[in-house]
Structure 1
Amino acid sequence: MANRELRSDAAANRDRIVEVARAELSRSNGAIAELKLHAVAKSAGVGQGTLYRHFPTREHLLAEVYRHELTQLVDAVAPLLAQHPPLEALTCWLDRLVAYARVKRGVMAAIEASAWQDLYSAHHHRLDDALGKLLDQGKAAGQVRAEVDATDVILLLGALSRIPESDWDTRAPTIVSVLVDGLRAR
Structure 2
Amino acid sequence: MADRSTQARPVGRKDARRNYERLLTSARAAFAEHGVGASLNDIARTAGVGNVTLYRHFPTRQALLEALLGESLRGLRTRSDELLASPSPSGALITWLTAAVEHATAYRGLVDALVDSLADPASELHATCQAVKAAGAQLLTRAQQAGAIRPDVGASALFSLIASVAWAVERTPEHRDQLLAVMFDGLHHRVDEPTQAR
Shared fold (TM-score, shorter chain, > 0.5): yes
List runs of 5+ in structure 2 lacking aligned partners: 1-13, 191-198
Instruction: Indicate yes or no: 2:143 matched with 1:138.
Output: yes
Instruction: Provide the TM-score with structure 2 as the length reference.
Output: 0.60
> Which residue in the other structure is 1:72 paired with?
75
Aligned residues of 2:150 and 2:189 also touching (Cα < 8 A): yes
Residue identity in the other structure for 2:66: A
Instruction: Indicate yes or no: 2:177 matched with 1:173.
Output: yes
Aligned CA distance change for structure 1 residues 15 and 177 (closer, same or farther; 3 Å):
farther
> Which residue in the other structure is 1:185 paired with?
189
Q: What are the superposed Cα offsets for residues 32-91 of structure 1, whole Å, 9 maximum, x if unpaired?
A: 5388646985xxxxx858x74533565532232243332222221012233562111111
Q: What are the superposed Cα offsets for residues 139-164 of structure 1, whole Å, 9 maximum, x if unpaired?
A: 23232222322122123234236527
Q: What are the superposed Cα offsets for residues 76-123 of structure 1, whole Å, 9 maximum, x if unpaired?
A: 101223356211111111111112211365347789x79x83225544
Aligned residues of 1:105 and 1:161 also touching (Cα < 8 A): no
Aligned residues of 1:87 and 1:144 also touching (Cα < 8 A): yes
Instruction: Indicate yes or no: 2:32 matched with 1:55.
Output: no
> Which residue in the other structure is 2:164 paired with?
159
Alignment of 1:1-186 (within 5 A): 20=25, 24=29, 27-28=32-33, 30=35, 32-33=37-38, 37=43, 48=49, 52=54, 54-55=57-58, 60-83=63-86, 85-103=88-106, 105-107=108-110, 117=120, 118-119=122-123, 121-160=126-165, 162-163=167-168, 165-167=170-172, 169-186=173-190
Residue identity in the other structure for 2:187: L
Aligned CA distance change for structure 1 residues 139 and 58 (closer, same or farther; 3 Å):
closer
List runs of 5+ in structure 1 lacking aligned partners: 1-8, 42-46
Aligned residues: 171
Percent identity between matched residues is: 27
Residue identity in the other structure for 2:100: L
Aligned residues of 1:30 and 1:103 also touching (Cα < 8 A): no
**Inter-partner Cα distance in structure 2 for 1:138 and 1:21:** 41
Larger radius of gyration: 2
Instruction: Provide the TM-score with structure 1 as the length reference.
Output: 0.63
**Inter-partner Cα distance in structure 2 for 1:95 and 1:22:** 25
Q: Which moved more, 1:116-125 or 1:126-135?
A: 116-125
Aligned residues of 1:144 and 1:184 also touching (Cα < 8 A): yes
Aligned CA distance change for structure 1 residues 133 and 15 (closer, same or farther; 3 Å):
farther
Aligned CA distance change for structure 1 residues 178 and 110 (closer, same or farther; 3 Å):
closer
CA RMSD of aligned residues (A): 4.2
**Structure 1 residue 132, shift from structure 2 partner:** 1.1
